[in-house]
């Protein structure tokens, strides 16, 4: 049963990561960032996607396991 929960959690987080990445592609964040700060912008984008995926995944898993 624990292995099933592990795979379910992993699948939910992976789907949320893909959905967050797809959803963030619609945001034009280049207008608010400074020029010549490409590396910092990529790190910020990645952190926002990871955070959003974690929050969405945790929200969905709260309904599944409770």
Q: What is the pLDDT of residue 31?
A: 82
- Quote the Cα angle for 50-64-26, to 5°: 35
pLDDT higher than threshold 90 for residue 55: yes
pLDDT higher than threshold 80 for residue 1: no
User: Contact at 8 Å (CB) between 49 and 20?
Assistant: yes
pLDDT higher than threshold 90 for residue 28: no
Q: What is the pLDDT of residue 8?
A: 93
Q: Tell me the pTM.
A: 0.85
Give the whole-number percent of the chain exceeding pLDDT 90: 65
Domain range list for the chain: 2-65
Q: Where does 1-66 have alpha helices with state H? A: 2-24, 38-65
Q: What is the pLDDT of residue 16?
A: 97
- Measure the CA dihedral 35/39/42/30, to 10°: 0
């Amino acid at each position: 049963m624990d292995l099933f929960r592990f795979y379910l959690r992993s699948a939910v987080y992976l789907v949320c990561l893909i959905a967050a990445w797809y959803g963030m592609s619609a945001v034009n964040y280049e207008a608010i960032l400074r020029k010549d700060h490409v590396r910092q912008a990529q790190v910020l984008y990645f952190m926002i996607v990871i955070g959003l995926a974690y929050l969405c995944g945790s929200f969905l898993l709260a309904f599944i396991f409770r």
